């Protein structure tokens, strides 16, 4: 029993189709290796093949294609930046460091907020995995050729398997992703409720970190839903069926925003409110979200939802909770109509 509990995947892993991802990884890596090992050029750079492949594996085909193009673009930047330096000054300790720094500068010049690890990897690759020409001289062109061909091969294998696995994974993908972020909000609201009841302000910082992580998860899921709508393999009818899931995701994002605002208010006003009323209303909101979760998960029939007008209150926390309750009711209504 202990061993089973140790190796068993968590519920969150199930909602992110981890078993399918593991199977897809195994099959794609096996295929790429078996083809490349028998090819005179590809067999020279298995690292680029498998690295590019793993970074392109995505649950949505369009997302994988975007990731593949980004890698090819970043690889080109890293290769050109480093090739210019080593072509002029050769390969030594100074040019290796200069190649990485120059690539870093180019990346920051293009977008100061992000640095591509693929571009940096390529800059290092161009000096440490150098190919030679017929005369035995180091050749940046041949090195870049090997790197880009191996990368494109790995990306193509990943895109093929992204498409194949999407044929039977798309149906449940939006549902599972929405279930995950609903459950995430249920847990956050439970934490806020506990904080209200205990008046332990020390937990607020931890709750805010969870809320910030939830924003990242929600935005990532919305991105995947948008990519699914643009997927060439989706019929028009299927794309229309995805729209309610996107609306639910935006509703959940609003709840998450209110949770952050509530934490901010509690932190600065030190619980100057009727904690009992707010705690009870949080319980009501969580019951609504649990009802939505169970309805979407087909565990039970969703109760009929009647939308109510929110009442105006002077207390900001009460206003937040009224707004959250109304959003939760809207989520229940959308799920009931799916």
Do 23 and 113 belong to one domain?
yes
Determine which of 61-70, 302-311, 329-338 has the lowest per-residue pLDDT on average.
Answer: 302-311
Strands (E), the chain: 131-132, 138-139
Determine the pLDDT at residue 314.
44
What are phi and psi for residue 329, nearest 5 degrees? -65, -40
Determine which of 95-99, 135-139, 208-212, 266-270 has the lowest per-residue pLDDT on average.
Answer: 266-270
* Separation CA 127–CA 95 (nearest Å): 9
With respect to residue 253, please indicate whether it lies within any of the assigned structural domains: yes
What is the share, in percent, of the chain residues with pLDDT greater than 70? Answer: 85
* Separation CA 110–CA 180 (nearest Å): 35
Determine which of 66-70, 77-81, 110-114 has the lowest per-residue pLDDT on average.
Answer: 110-114
Higher pLDDT, 124 or 317: 124
Determine the pLDDT at residue 313.
40
Determine the pLDDT at residue 312.
43
pLDDT score of 34 more than 70: yes
Buried b (16+ CB within 10 A) or exposed e, 184-213: bbbebbebbbebbeeeeeeebeebbebbee
Do 189 and 307 belong to one domain?
yes
Mean pLDDT is highest, among 135-149, 232-246, 263-277, for 135-149
Query: What mean pLDDT comes out for the span 29-45?
Result: 94
Is 143 within 8 Å of 135 (Cβ atoms)?
no
With respect to residue 257, please indicate whether it lies within any of the assigned structural domains: yes
Do 184 and 333 belong to one domain?
yes
Q: Which residue has the tokens 């194949």?
A: 164
Higher pLDDT, 310 or 73: 73
Residue 292's CB: how many other CB atoms inside 10 A? 30
Q: In the chain, what's the furthest Cα-to-Cα distance?
A: 83
Tokens of 215: 């924003």
Do 143 and 178 belong to one domain?
no
The number of domains in the chain is 2
With respect to residue 55, please indicate whether it lies within any of the assigned structural domains: yes
With respect to residue 3, please indicate whether it lies within any of the assigned structural domains: no
Do 157 and 257 belong to one domain?
no
Buried b (16+ CB within 10 A) or exposed e, 100-133: bebbbebbeeeeeeeebebbbbbbebbbeebbee
Is 116 within 8 Å of 74 (Cβ atoms)?
yes
pLDDT score of 243 more than 90: no
- Residue 300's DSSP bridge partners are none
With respect to residue 319, please indicate whether it lies within any of the assigned structural domains: yes
* Separation CA 41–CA 142 (nearest Å): 11
pLDDT score of 4 more than 70: no
Tokens of 302: 């969703």
Burial degree of 310 (CB within 10 A; 0-12, 13-18, 19+) = middle
Do 70 and 205 belong to one domain?
no
> If DSSP codes are grouped into helix, strand and coil, which group holds residue 132?
strand
Query: What mean pLDDT comes out for the span 289-302?
Result: 78
Do 60 and 138 belong to one domain?
yes
Determine the pLDDT at residue 174.
87
Determine the pLDDT at residue 311.
45
Mean pLDDT is highest, among 85-94, 138-147, 148-157, 318-327, for 148-157
Query: What mean pLDDT comes out for the span 202-208?
Result: 88
Write the CATH number for 303: 1.20.58.220
Do 42 and 184 belong to one domain?
no
- In the structure, what pLDDT confidence band is assigned to residue 298 with cuts at 50, 70 and 90? confident
Query: What mean pLDDT comes out for the span 223-227?
Result: 89
Do 153 and 254 belong to one domain?
no
With respect to residue 96, please indicate whether it lies within any of the assigned structural domains: yes
Is 231 within 8 Å of 223 (Cβ atoms)?
no
Of 132, 167, 202, the one marking the end of a domain is 167
Q: Which residue has the tokens 């649950």?
A: 59
Determine the pLDDT at residue 54.
94
pLDDT score of 153 more than 90: yes
With respect to residue 54, please indicate whether it lies within any of the assigned structural domains: yes
Higher pLDDT, 282 or 150: 150
Mean pLDDT is highest, among 4-8, 161-165, 237-241, 329-333, for 161-165
* Separation CA 208–CA 195 (nearest Å): 12
Task: Provide the mean pLDDT of the chain.
Answer: 84
> If DSSP codes are grouped into helix, strand and coil, which group holds residue 297?
coil
- In the structure, what pLDDT confidence band is assigned to residue 236 with cuts at 50, 70 and 90? low
Do 245 and 106 belong to one domain?
no
Residues of the domain holding 139? 8-167
β-strand pairing of 138-139 with 131-132? antiparallel
Determine the pLDDT at residue 47.
93
* Separation CA 240–CA 148 (nearest Å): 38
Determine the pLDDT at residue 309.
44
Determine the pLDDT at residue 231.
77
Q: Which residue in 51, 327, 40, 290 sits closest to 186, CA to CA?
A: 290
Burial degree of 305 (CB within 10 A; 0-12, 13-18, 19+) = buried
Do 197 and 312 belong to one domain?
yes
* pTM, rounded to two decimals: 0.79
Of 129, 144, 167, the one marking the end of a domain is 167
With respect to residue 2, please indicate whether it lies within any of the assigned structural domains: no
Do 152 and 244 belong to one domain?
no
- Residue 132's DSSP bridge partners are 138
Is 185 within 8 Å of 249 (Cβ atoms)?
no
Of 120, 144, 167, the one marking the end of a domain is 167
């Amino acid at each position: 029993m202990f061993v089973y509990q140790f190796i068993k995947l968590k519920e969150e892993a199930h909602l992110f189709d981890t078993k399918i991802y593991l199977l897809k990884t195994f099959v794609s890596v096996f295929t790429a290796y078996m083809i490349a090992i028998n090819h005179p050029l590809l067999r020279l750079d298995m690292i680029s093949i498998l690295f590019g492949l793993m970074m392109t594996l995505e649950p949505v085909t369009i997302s994988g294609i975007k990731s593949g193009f980004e890698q090819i673009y970043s690889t080109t930047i890293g290769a050109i930046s480093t090739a210019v330096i080593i072509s002029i000054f050769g390969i030594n300790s100074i040019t290796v460091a200069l190649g990485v720094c120059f690539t870093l500068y180019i990346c920051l010049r293009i977008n100061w907020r992000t640095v591509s690890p693929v571009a940096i990897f390529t800059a290092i690759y161009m000096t440490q995995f150098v190919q030679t020409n017929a005369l035995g001289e180091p050749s940046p062109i041949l090195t870049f050729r090997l790197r880009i061909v191996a990368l494109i091969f790995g990306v193509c294998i990943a895109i093929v398997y992204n498409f194949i696995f999407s044929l039977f994974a798309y149906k449940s993908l939006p549902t599972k992703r929405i279930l995950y972020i609903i459950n995430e909000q249920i847990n956050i609201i439970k934490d806020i409720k506990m904080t209200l009841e205990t008046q332990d302000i020390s937990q607020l910082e931890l709750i805010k970190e969870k809320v910030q992580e939830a924003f990242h998860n929600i935005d990532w899921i919305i991105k995947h839903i948008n990519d699914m709508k643009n997927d060439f393999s989706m019929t028009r009818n299927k794309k229309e069926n995805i729209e309610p899931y996107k609306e639910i995701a935006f509703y959940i994002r609003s709840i998450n925003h209110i949770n952050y605002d509530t934490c901010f208010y509690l932190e600065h006003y030190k619980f100057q409110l009727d904690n009992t009323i707010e705690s009870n209303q949080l319980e009501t909101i969580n019951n609504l979200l649990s009802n939505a979760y169970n309805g979407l998960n087909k565990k039970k029939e969703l109760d009929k939802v009647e939308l109510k007008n929110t009442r105006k209150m002077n207390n900001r926390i009460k206003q937040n909770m009224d707004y959250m309750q109304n959003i939760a009711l809207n989520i229940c209504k959308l799920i009931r109509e799916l």
